Amino acid sequence: MRLAPLIALLLALVVTTRALASDRDDVTAALGLRSAGERTAARLAFERAAAGPDPTASAEALYELAEMDEEDLAFAAALARYERSVDRAPSSRYAPRAAARVDYLRRHAEGGFSPLATLERARRGSGSGDARWADALAREAEAFPAGAVRNEAHLVVADACHRRLGRPGDALKYYGLVLRETTSDATMRLIAAQAIAEIALSTGDYVAAEAAAREISGLDATLLAKVSRLARRAHLRTAAYAGLAAFALLAGCGLALGLVRHPGAAVGAPVARFVKVALPFCAWLAGAGAWLALGHEGGSATPFVALGASALAIATIARAWAAVGAPSVSARTGRALACALAVVAVAFIILDRSDAAYLESFGL
């Protein structure tokens, strides 16, 4: 009589062990069926495992069923199964993934998941590079309630217009909606602001680029710093070209007036003497700079060679100008300043066009 409870316990352990093994077998078989495209048979096997006594197998089966529900756009059913998966085995390897999906679906549940289903059908459609597809999704998104799904729809439309359809105006419109919408999360606002800045910079609209960067400066200060640096560089580029043009105009006018006032003035001889002195110096400037640049990995000698040649040209023009210009101290000082500014301007232009990395080291 005393052996009866022990025998019953052993029988229960055997039955439980076989049931647990059966649950694992059902999950393994269901995974194979799902991979083979046998969705109906896979569902049945997953459902058997989900109802079984093995908590780990049950949690895995519920997770797989929830994924299949998402594939079928049955998001409410998927949410319920993900929640049950976490509850069934909170320490299983599927629990973190299931919890992440629970969080996502709860944040995208507006309208009873109908907007999310519409968005997912659009994402899975074959016309994602087609203008009609983008316009249709944009119209549907207008009817969505405010929330994460509408924001994502606007972001999808904006990306399509920007990356594939070549419609920057529409891209700016929908990126702007995402950026200004209070229900947009930080990641979406960052993506929108970066895209707006990219489009604005490509068209030279630094004001719009800086405005977008300021919108997210609390989330990412690097974008504002980058845009501000590029804006400064653009202003300096304009100033450099203007300064170089001003030097050319002043030097040209000065030479012309000087030759008119002094028809027999000697220009060639003083210029030739000057070039004999200036040429070695400019050659040294170009050669030394090129040697130093080539000594560093990735360095380029081009900016230094171009700077040496440009400095020689500017100095030669300035010497010709001086040969026929007024000899007063103020006139000579003005010519010297104009020449110095021209050299600085041409140096900036050379660096800007050849290797902007040099400018970045100066905060430009």
Question: For every residue of 117-148, which 3-state class applies, written as one string?
Answer: HHHHHHHHCCCCCCHHHHHHHHHHHHCCCCCH
Exposure b/e, 189-217, CB count within 10 A at least 16 = b: bbbbbbbbbbbbbeeeebebbbbbbebbe
Question: Residue 340 has what pLDDT?
Answer: 86
What the block records as the tokens of 248 is 């050319």
Instruction: For the chain, list residues with pLDDT below 70.
Output: 1-23, 126-129, 262-268, 289, 293-301, 355-364
Question: Residue 140 has what pLDDT?
Answer: 92
* Distance from the first to the final alpha carbon of the chain: 93
Question: Residue 20 has what pLDDT?
Answer: 44
pLDDT digits (tens, 9 = 90+) for 255-274: 777 777 766 566 667 777 77
- Rounded to whole angstroms, how far apart are CA atoms 24 and 39? 18
Q: What is the largest CA-CA distance in the chain?
A: 139
Q: Is 293 in contact with 306 (CB distance < 8 Å)?
A: no
Task: Provide φ and ψ at 143, rounded to 5°.
Answer: -90, -5
The answer for 54, left when phi > 0, alpha when psi is -120 to 50, beta otherwise, is: beta
pTM here is 0.69
Q: Is 215 in contact with 179 (CB distance < 8 Å)?
A: yes
Q: Which amino acid is at 251?
A: A
Question: Residue 28 has what pLDDT?
Answer: 84
Task: Provide φ and ψ at 54, rounded to 5°.
Answer: -80, 110
Question: Residue 263 has what pLDDT?
Answer: 67
Question: Residue 202 has what pLDDT?
Answer: 86
Question: Residue 80 has what pLDDT?
Answer: 96
∠ Cα 159 109 81 (to 5°):
115
